[in-house]
C-alpha cells in the first residue's frame, strides 16, 4: 500500500474510531448528568458559537442540537489524530497516550481561548469526572481503531 493510501486508510479508521469514542463519552456523560440531576454541559457549544459568531438560536431545542453536533464533530475529528499516528507507524501502546494528550491539550486551549471554560475554581470532583470522561473517549476510540485495523 502506498504511503498516501496508508494515510487515507488511517484517517478513515480514525474518523470511525473518533465517532465510537464520542458515542461512548456521550453515554458516560449522560449517565453522569442523570445520576447527579444536572444539565448537560454546553461548554463546547458556547465555544463554537463564539468562534462562529452565532448570537442566537430559535429555541432551546435548536441549541441542544447544535451542542450535540459540535460535541460529535469535535470527538470524531480528534479520531483523525489517532489514525494519522497509526498510519505513520506509531504503535497502539504509544498512540493511545499521544492521542489522549493531543485531544486533551486542544480541548483546554480551545476553552481557554474562547473564555467558555467553567468559572474558577473547579473542584477536584469535577476535574476527576472530566478526566474519567476523557479516558472513556480515548479508550473507546483506541479499541475501535484497533478492531478496525485488524479487520482490514
For the segment 121-147, what is each residue's pLDDT rounded down to a tens digit?
456 777 778 788 888 999 999 999 999
C-alpha closest to that of 15 among 27, 23, 4: 23
Q: pTM for the full model? A: 0.79
Cβ contacts of 115-122, under 8 Å, gap ≥ 24 = 115/50, 116/43, 116/46, 116/47, 116/50, 117/43, 118/43
Q: Where are the beta strands (DSSP E) in the chain?
A: none
Q: What is the mean pLDDT of residues 100-105?
A: 68
For the segment 26-37, what is each residue's pLDDT rounded down to a tens digit?
899 889 888 888
Amino acid at each position: 500500500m502506498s504511503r498516501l493510501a496508508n494515510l487515507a486508510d488511517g484517517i478513515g479508521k480514525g474518523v470511525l474510531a473518533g465517532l465510537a469514542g464520542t458515542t461512548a463519552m456521550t453515554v458516560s456523560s449522560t449517565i453522569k448528568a442523570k445520576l447527579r440531576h444536572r444539565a448537560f454541559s454546553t461548554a463546547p457549544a458556547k465555544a463554537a458559537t463564539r468562534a462562529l459568531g452565532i448570537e442566537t438560536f430559535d429555541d432551546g431545542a435548536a441549541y441542544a442540537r447544535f451542542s450535540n453536533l459540535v460535541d460529535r464533530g469535535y470527538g470524531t475529528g480528534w479520531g483523525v489524530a489517532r489514525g494519522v499516528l497509526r498510519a505513520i507507524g506509531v504503535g497502539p501502546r504509544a498512540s493511545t497516550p499521544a492521542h489522549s494528550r493531543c485531544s486533551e491539550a486542544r480541548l483546554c486551549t480551545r476553552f481557554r481561548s474562547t473564555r467558555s471554560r467553567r468559572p474558577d475554581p473547579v473542584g477536584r470532583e469535577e476535574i476527576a469526572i472530566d478526566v474519567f470522561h476523557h479516558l472513556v473517549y480515548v479508550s473507546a476510540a483506541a479499541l475501535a481503531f484497533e478492531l478496525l485495523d485488524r479487520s482490514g
